A and B are shown apart, each in its own frame.
Chain A
Amino acid sequence: MTATLESLQTGQHARVQDVQGDDSLALRIMEMGLLPGAEIEFIGRAPLGDPLEIRVAGYHLSLRKAEAHRVVIEVI
């Protein structure tokens, strides 16, 4: 079973395995450093539940659940 970034809990660390799809959204996500192999930390969710905040490549990034759903991860 594969997990996606969307399902992480606050404080969990994970490694990106894949960014699904072959379109401009996948490109945008990878450009921001969410490449396969990148380590991420889940910081939390916005008060209304969406978007999410993660730490990647030494900075904080926010992305929506719909986008996070594309990012396949492995919890470490």
Chain B
Amino acid sequence: MSLAVDRVPHLAVVGNPNTGKSTLFSALTGIFTRTGNFPGVTVEMKLGRLKTSTREAVLVDLPGTYSLAARSADERVTVDVLLGLRPEIGSLAGALCIVDGTNLERNLYLFSQVRDLGLPVLLIVNMIDRAEKAGIAITALELSQRLGVPVVFCNAHDQSSVALVQKSIFDFIEQNQPAAHGTDLAAQQASNFDFPPAFETAVNELQGLLLAHGRKMPRPLVSRLLMDIDGQIEQTEVQRRPELSPHLQRLREQVSAAGYRISGIEPRVRYAAIRKAIAGLEIRPVRQAGQFSEKLDGWLTHSVFGLLIFIFMMFVVFQLLYRGAEPVMVLMETAFGSLQDLVGGMMPRGPLRSLVTQGIIAGVGGVLVFLPQIVLLFLFLAILEDCGYMARAAFLMDRLMTKVGLSGKSFVPLMSSFACAIPGVMATRVIENRKDRMVTILVAPLMSCSARLPVYSLLIGAFIPGVSFLGGWVDLRSLVLLAFLSLGAIVAIPVAWILKKTIFPGETPPFVMELPPYKWPSIKTVFQRVYDRAAAFVVRAGTLILLTSIVIWGLGYFPGDHTRENAILAEMEETRQIFEDPLQRRENLQQQLVGSDDAPHPSPVESASFENELNSLNQQLKEYDALMEQLEGEFIATQGQLQENSFLGMAGHWIEPIVRPLGWDWRIGVGVLASFPAREVIIATLGVIYNLGEGMEAESPQLRDALINSRNPDGSPVFTIPVALSIMVFFALCAQCMATLVVVAQESGSWKWAVFTFVYMTALAYVGALITFQVASLWW
């Protein structure tokens, strides 16, 4: 235990979900908190500073939970932090337990568990305004006397109330100094609650047994070990000391024989004590039939309208995510393009300039381009979450998702992944169950994201005949596009099912979830959540994505000799300088001919004179135009050559035997390798390979024609319908998105899962493409 004398006191913040815990946390500590992950688990560690001019404390926000009975390593973090067992946090000066004043009984259950750990606890009763309206008749002082801990009433949306809480926290810290408590004291102390003697005897015996096996365990953990059947503590302890298992069984049987069912002991004892403590405080239920919120819920969970409203809402979210983010993304791409030109223009040609413009600036752009979607999605999710609708979304969709072994909470993250898997994977944080969350993370990248669209539209446009059926109502191209958009989701069903059966086996986790009353979302909470997610992506994922894009740049740039390329570029620039004046004049004339916002359309007489001058200029620049065209052709050819001779190009040649059965030649192989950072890169790569330059887009007719006309050495076409289908199937199922893989690693807490995702998706993609090509070749 760290005993630094002048360490800023750390306090844990615990509470049930839907108690306004995060609202109060951000009201106390401000928006800019430090977030990170607890190593080894997917739990987020959020630290915020509470500060006045003279005093300071650090608040550690723990995930909202109903109980300390940990079923997974993630849930265990809360207990360990409270017991001072997590080295990242160290020992605590106390815990702040936030409860919902309108539902004291259930909320005090967690409080009573926290208090049993032996830490000083400050009870913060939130939503006191609502509780007063519902008829709560007690003062903070009286409640404090009844419960034996300091109590402060609070309304997290009210500034003066938050100031009072702040003062109470500092008073609380002062009263509990010097910190003579901690795990050692807690270890000696029996529970504050009246557990049956038979149970206490068993805990004593178990603690002695553990000690005899060399395991010194704090008493609260020992009683948790005995009480939490199949809980996380039992799993880890029994795994480490299998000889404990029969003893544990025996002690539990001993308690049962005394007439106490193990699973019932804790809830019975605690609820009985709580009811006694708050006797006479029963208030009217906040949610009553006939209220607006209840009527609204009647509609939102209605068997027909509930589903329709849900589908409509998801449609709106999806459309905004899909279409709303696009203009911003286009703007960003343009801005980064200009930045590349600007910075490039200031640097001498060579590897360094290429590294800065093509590696670093393009890499940073590749990170930031995801921000609009992340911000938009989390804006919606935070609003829906804070107003209470997300719980209903899970409620509505649960039945559907249980078919693949997931729960209703996986629906929204998976749906979001249709726009982009990155915010989708990040949105899985709402899923408390680790196994469910992992399966959702692993299948999310299969959903057809917007980056696959350019690949589909290029190949469908080029190779699928534009025929329509049913009197023009159904178009073959749209049908094929629809098939590819749904392919990933269809494949995800068996994948999720298999993952649930093999890697993440176990019983279906219970779906015991509170449906909170509706309320207006808090702007501050929403803003905080969006900021947290965006910052987490840029800072943590961004650096890794940037590094990888630099590596990929290097593989595409080296070991080729770029002198010829640079010489051509230099010559182009010189030529342009020589003809600068007539070129400038020509540009002006062209602009005047079309007219602009400032200058109106020229009159017919003016037009004729402009055109005359333009013709003579064109004549004058004939030589220049021809030279430039030739240089450009040479430049593009050199680029293609360089790409073929780069490490990436070599790899493309090496993998040719592997991709042959898919119907691909080495050029497609290079394209697939080069698009590892992001799927849409294949378009630009194919552009370079087919000597059309880098600026190719999915809609470019030159690229489409180049693909159609491309020939193998024996004269047969490279691209046929089976090849096009095979490429599309590959891109539907592959994991060619570095940013997604980085986010998967981050959200799952391990690189192992990113590698797993890449391997399983690439294998699926390969097999899928192979079958597609071989089967399709039978017809075409």
A positions within 8 Å CB-CB of B: 19, 21-33, 35, 44-51, 53, 55, 57-64, 66-67
Contact B287 A55 (CB under 8 A): yes
A31-B67, A33-B105, A64-B402 given; 6 more Cβ-contact pairs under 8 Å: A22-B261, A22-B264, A24-B263, A46-B301, A57-B103, A58-B102
For the complex, give the distance between the alpha carbons of A37 and B268 in Å: 11
Flag if A35 contacts B267 (CB, 8 Å). yes
A67 and B512: CB pair below 8 A? yes
Query: Does the CB pair A61–B512 fall under 8 Å?
Result: yes
A64 CB → nearest B CB, Å: 5
Does B513 make an interface contact (CB < 8 A)?
yes
Tell me the bound Cα distance from A28 to B227 in angstroms. 12
Residues of the A chain whose Cβ atoms lie less than 8 Å from the Cβ of B103: 57-59
A69, chain B: closest CB distance, angstroms? 12
Q: Is B74 an interface residue (CB 8 A)?
A: no
Q: Are the C-beta atoms of B264 and A47 separated by less than 8 Å?
A: no
Q: Which residues of A contact B229 (CB under 8 A)?
A: 22-24, 27
Majority SS at the chain A contact face: mixed
Closest 3 CB pairs of A and B: A48-B399, A30-B267, A60-B515
A-B contact list, 15 entries, CB within 8 Å? A22-B262, A31-B69, A32-B106, A32-B514, A33-B109, A33-B271, A47-B301, A47-B396, A53-B301, A53-B395, A53-B515, A59-B514, A59-B516, A62-B515, A64-B398
Complexed CA–CA distance, A33 and B105 (Å): 8
Residue pair B267, A50 in contact (C-beta under 8 Å): no
A59 to B256 alpha-carbon distance, docked (Å): 31
Interface residues of B, CB < 8 Å — how many? Answer: 50
Query: Which of chain B's residues have a CB closer than 8 A to the CB of A25?
Result: 510
**Looking across the interface, which residue of chain A has its beta carbon closest to that of B304?**
A47
> Within 8 Å CB of B513, what residues of A?
61-63
Q: Is the CB of A48 within 8 A of B267?
A: no
Question: B483: which A residues are within 8 A, CB to CB?
Answer: none
Q: Whole-angstrom distance from the CB of A9 to the nearest CB of chain B?
A: 14
The answer on a CB contact under 8 Å between B515 and A19 is no
- Tell me if B398 and A29 are in contact (CB < 8 A): no
Q: Contact: B264 with A24, CB < 8 Å?
A: no
- What residues of B have a CB within 8 angstroms of the CB of A30 in the complex? 263-264, 267-268
- On whether the beta carbons of A23 and B263 are closer than 8 Å, the reply is yes
- Residues of chain B at the chain A interface (Cβ within 8 Å): 66-67, 69, 71, 102-103, 105-106, 109, 227-231, 256, 261-264, 266-268, 271, 283, 285-287, 301-304, 306-307, 391, 395-396, 398-400, 402, 408, 508, 510-517
Quote the shortest CB–CB distance from B293 to chain A (angstroms): 11
Q: A31 near B66 (CB under 8 angstroms)?
A: yes
A61, closest chain B residue (CB)? B514
Which residues on A sit within 8 Å (CB–CB) of B399? 46, 48-51
A46 CB contacts on chain B under 8 angstroms = 301, 395-396, 398-399
Least CB distance, A36 to chain B, in whole angstroms: 8
Q: How far is the CB of B13 from chain A (nearest CB, A)?
A: 20
In the complex, residue of chain A having the shortest beta-carbon distance to the beta carbon of B298: A44
Which of B67, B399, B516 lies at the interface centre, i.e. has the most chain A CB atoms within 10 A of its CB? B399
Decide: B510 and A44 in contact? CB cutoff 8 A.
Answer: no
* Residues of chain A lying within 8 A (CB to CB) of residue B271: 33, 35
> With a CB–CB cut-off of 8 A, which chain A residues contact B261?
22, 26
Residues of B within 8 A of A51 (CB): 395, 398-399, 408, 511
Q: Assuming A47-B301, A48-B396, is B264 touching A19 (CB within 8 A)?
A: yes
Chain A residues near B268: list those with CB within 8 A.
30, 35
Chain B residue nearest to A56 (CB atoms) is B106
Knowing A46-B301, A48-B399, the reply to whether A31 touches B267 (Cβ < 8 A) is: yes
Are A24's CB and B71's CB within 8 A?
yes
B692 to chain A, nearest CB (A): 51
- In the bound assembly, the distance between CA atoms of A23 and B100 in angstroms comes to 28
Q: Do A26 and B264 touch across chains, with their CB atoms under 8 A apart?
A: yes
What's the minimum C-beta distance from A65 to chain B, rounded to whole angstroms?
10
Q: How far is the CA of A30 from the CA of B106 in the complex (A)?
A: 10
Q: Is the CB of B286 within 8 A of A58?
A: yes
Complex contact A29–B512 (CB within 8 A): yes
A59 to B301, CA, bound (A): 16
The reply to whether B263 and A21 form a contact with Cβ atoms under 8 Å apart is yes
- Among A22, A31, A63, residue most surrounded by chain B Cβ atoms (within 10 Å): A31
Contact B510–A50 (Cβ < 8 Å): no
Cα-based distance from A50 to B513 in the complex (angstroms): 13
CB proximity of B132 to chain A, nearest CB, Å: 15
Cβ of A76 to closest chain B Cβ, rounded Å: 17
The answer to whether B105 touches A26, judged by C-beta atoms less than 8 angstroms apart, is no
Contact at A55–B512, with CB atoms within 8 Å?
no
Q: Which residues in B have their C-beta under 8 angstroms from that of A24?
A: 69, 71, 228-231, 263
